Amino acid sequence: MNINRPCGTFDRNYFQSKELYRTPLRKALLALFIILMYVVPLLVGDYEISILTLICAFTIGMLGLQIITGYCGQISIGHAAFMGIGMYTVAIFQAHFGLSFWVCLPFAGLVPMFIGMLFGVPALRMKGLYLAFATLAAHFVIVYVISNWRSVTNGTDGMWMKRPGPLLGIDFTQDRNYYFLVLTITIIMTYLATNLARTKLGRAFVAVRDNDIAAEVMGINIAYTKIMAFGIGCFFAGISGAVGGAYYEYVNVEWFGLDDSIWYLGFLVVGGFGSIFGAIAGATVWKVMDEFSTLVTPLTESLLGGVAFYASAAFSLIFYSLIIIVFLVFEPRGIAHRWEIVKRSYRLHPFPY
């Protein structure tokens, strides 16, 4: 399944073929990485923990977009809106039915999945850009409904959310403990996404992306496959929104503009299409850039004469879009591809190839 493996390495039996990790070294490195992710928050301050939490939350959403766009080749420009549905699902269930976060979490995935499929069904029957149009429309309809259905969503004022209650004696109102929860959910979702790519459905996604007519000839139901990809992607987006919204304990309709959907797509490109690593790299770069741009903003403001309150908005728009465009023009396969090249050159060290 993994096309990036070195030349001459084959699976000799089904056990090898099923393995997630080809070599013990990889397994050890992954375990080390996960342990490191759990240990780091004990060593750093609150600011770093907030960045890490956001990276984890957005990684989940990015994995969803990776399934839609990277694996199945459909373009969604309403991903942030589905993330917003996830947030609002939790907020509404908590505010109106008094349910706990743990009960709401599955619904935060399932409701966007259902709504996404509803919007996706007409578009995904056809080949081409239609999902982009449908999700663009979905974005505006969703934002309209959320900002105007005041009795349920409290309009543009936003809603309060509660963090999950204590579990096994761990108090999640503390940021550090909440980070552990988000990290755990992220690891579970990453594991699910990794395995999804290896199932029949996941292979069907890739087949549809690469050549849909050939896929149809091989007996794949294209419309069903695309709709499943979109639904699963929206499920991930919803979970990501629920986790991210609960971190702030507040949701607002302004948090998922069209910009955010486009950044999702753009930083997926920066990370790299069609690999789990690409999604994680994309989310990480995005959130690190976010912090970078908030750090740089005072500088630009002083450059533009102190009173330039608009400069930060303009700066982040121009800066991000240029990063994504430069990446697309010079490295269209993203960081994941660059990483593969680095690994290969390490493996073949004395020789160029």
Partner 1 sequence: MEETIKSVVLGLCSGGIYALLAVSYVVIYKSTRVFPFSQAAVLIIGAYIMWYCLIPWHLPIWLGFIITCIGGVILGTIVERAFMRPLVGQPILAPIVVTLCLMLFFRGIGILMGKGDIQGFGESFLPVGAWKVGFLHLPKIQVYGFILCAVLIAALMLFYEKTRTGLGMRVVHEDHVVAQNLGINVKRIFQYSWIISCVIAVVAGMLLGNIQGVGLALDANGLIAIAAVLFGGLESFAGAIIAGLAIGILQMLTITYIAPLLPGETTMMIPFVFLLLILFIKPYGLLGLVRIERL
Binding site for partner 1 (CB under 8 A): 69, 73, 75, 77, 119, 122-123, 125-127, 129-130, 132-134, 136-138, 140-141, 144, 147-148, 150, 213-214, 217, 259, 262, 265-266, 269, 273, 308-311, 313-318, 320-322, 324-325, 328-329, 332
> What's the min distance (Å) between Cβ of 220 and partner 1?
14
Name the 3-class secondary structure at 170: strand
Cα distance between residue 58 and residue 55, in whole Å: 5
What's the angle, vertex CA 31, arms to CA 29 and CA 35, rounded to 5? 115
338: Cβ contacts below 8 Å, ≥ 6 apart: 331
> What's the min distance (Å) between Cβ of 276 and partner 1?
18
> What's the min distance (Å) between Cβ of 148 and partner 1?
4
Of residues 146 and 185, the one with the C-beta less far from partner 1: 146
> What's the min distance (Å) between Cβ of 229 and partner 1?
14
State the residue for tokens 């609960």. Answer: 246
Tokens (6 digits) for 184: 């755990």
Cα distance between residue 175 and residue 168, in whole Å: 17
Cα distance between residue 251 and residue 253, in whole Å: 7
Of residues 5 and 150, the one with the C-beta less far from partner 1: 150
> What's the min distance (Å) between Cβ of 144 and partner 1?
4
237: Cβ contacts below 8 Å, ≥ 6 apart: 60, 61, 64, 65, 79, 80, 82, 83, 86, 112, 116
> What's the min distance (Å) between Cβ of 154 and partner 1?
13
> What's the min distance (Å) between Cβ of 294 and partner 1?
16
- Residue 331: CA count within 13 A, CB half-sphere: 19
Of residues 150 and 338, the one with the C-beta less far from partner 1: 150
Backbone angles phi, psi at 295, to 5 degrees: -70, -35
Cα distance between residue 22 and residue 29, in whole Å: 12
Cα distance between residue 44 and residue 39, in whole Å: 9
Is residue 50 within 8 Å of residue 175, measured between CB atoms?
A: yes
Of residues 41 and 61, the one with the C-beta less far from partner 1: 61
Of residues 157 and 249, the one with the C-beta less far from partner 1: 157
Of residues 219 and 350, the one with the C-beta less far from partner 1: 219
Of residues 137 and 187, the one with the C-beta less far from partner 1: 137
